[in-house]
Copies of this chain bind each other. A is one copy, B any other.
Amino acid sequence: MTKFTQEAMVAMLSDFKRFIPQLSINCVIFRFNGQELQVPIVQPIQDEIWVIPGGFVYQDEDIDDAAKRILYEQTQIDLPILGQFGTYGPADRNFASELSAFKNSILPSDIIDWISQRFVTIGYYSILNRQPVDLKTGPLFKNGRWVNVKETDTLALDHSLLVSEARKVLGSELLSKPLLLSFMPPTFTIPELQKLYEAILDRPIDRGNFRQRILKSDILTKVGVSKEKTKSRPPILYSLDEQRYLNSLTQNIKLGF
């Protein structure tokens, strides 16, 4: 088993000459499960560390396409990429020594040399609204799971920083970009939506005021009543009026000092 996965790793990385050198991509994918904001992390076959999905860019490939491909290869999540949150390139950013597969030299030396270089990484983020129960991973990874963004401070390499930076950008874009279209399922309730806002903004919001404002903004259409078993009054189901939602985003440039 271990032998096979080592071979798989060699096969996968041995076309490294087709990649742009010293440049990598990392992806932070957000999901809201109704309660908390989560991101997927994966575990390489040769290591016990947890990292966010990441990889390299083929010479003839757009960097945005690379992000989408890498995400799919490592998590089987097929998702349009929404944006970048930053590019990171400290002079000493090389991590080969922290990866046991490379540290223990089970790979050809030319690959080790290639991967041991200093890398600049481009951070991409996106949002997943349908949630597979388990996270499948590609051949180079042995495990994948969803974790609360609040519990990502023990990731390997500089990946805790990357998640934290992606989260900041997400928060600043909640007001100006159509994130709800990506986060929410076709129908949802107002209390669910409020929990998403509270998770992203990381602060409590008054129930009554939230409901009042979101209804006045006229971006929701009532579609019925939740049929899920509740231990209290069943909430009303809404869907997002895409056109009105998109319109409401553009006209929010205030002065604010």
User: Which residues of A approach B to under 8 Å, CB–CB?
Assistant: 20-23, 57, 59-65, 84, 86-91, 118, 120, 122, 171-172, 175-176, 197, 201, 205, 210, 213-214, 217, 219, 245, 248-249, 252-257
A257 near B20 with CB under 8 A, answer no
Residue of B62, B118, B256 touching A91 (CB-CB under 8 A): B62
A118 near B59 with CB under 8 A, answer yes
Q: Given A22-B21, A23-B22, A175 and B254 touching (CB < 8 A)?
A: yes
Report B-chain residues with C-beta under 8 Å of the C-beta of A61: 91
Least CB distance from A98 to B in Å reads 19
Report B-chain residues with C-beta under 8 Å of the C-beta of A91: 59-62, 65
Q: Given A21-B22, A213-B257, A257-B248, A87 and B84 touching (CB < 8 A)?
A: yes
Residue of B122, B217, B255 touching A257 (CB-CB under 8 A): B217
Report B-chain residues with C-beta under 8 Å of the C-beta of A219: 257
8 interchain pairs, CB-CB under 8 A: A23-B23, A23-B120, A63-B90, A63-B120, A175-B257, A197-B255, A205-B255, A252-B256
Q: How many copies does the complex hold?
A: 2
Considering the complex, give the chain B residue whose CB is closest to the CB of A21: B21
> Quick one: which of A57, A63, A89 has the most chain B CB within 10 A?
A89
A62 near B90 with CB under 8 A, answer yes
A248 to B257, CA, bound (A): 6
Residue of B57, B197, B201, B248 touching A89 (CB-CB under 8 A): B57
Report B-chain residues with C-beta under 8 Å of the C-beta of A217: 257
A142 to B64, CA, bound (A): 35
A252 to B176, CA, bound (A): 14
A84 to B87, CA, bound (A): 8
A91 to B22, CA, bound (A): 16
Considering the complex, give the chain B residue whose CB is closest to the CB of A20: B22
Report B-chain residues with C-beta under 8 Å of the C-beta of A89: 57, 62-64, 122
Least CB distance from A158 to B in Å reads 13
If A23-B23, A87-B87 are given as contacts, then 15 extra A-B residue pairs at C-beta distance below 8 Å, sorted by A number, are A20-B22, A20-B120, A59-B91, A60-B118, A63-B87, A64-B89, A65-B91, A84-B87, A87-B122, A120-B122, A171-B253, A172-B176, A175-B256, A201-B253, A210-B255
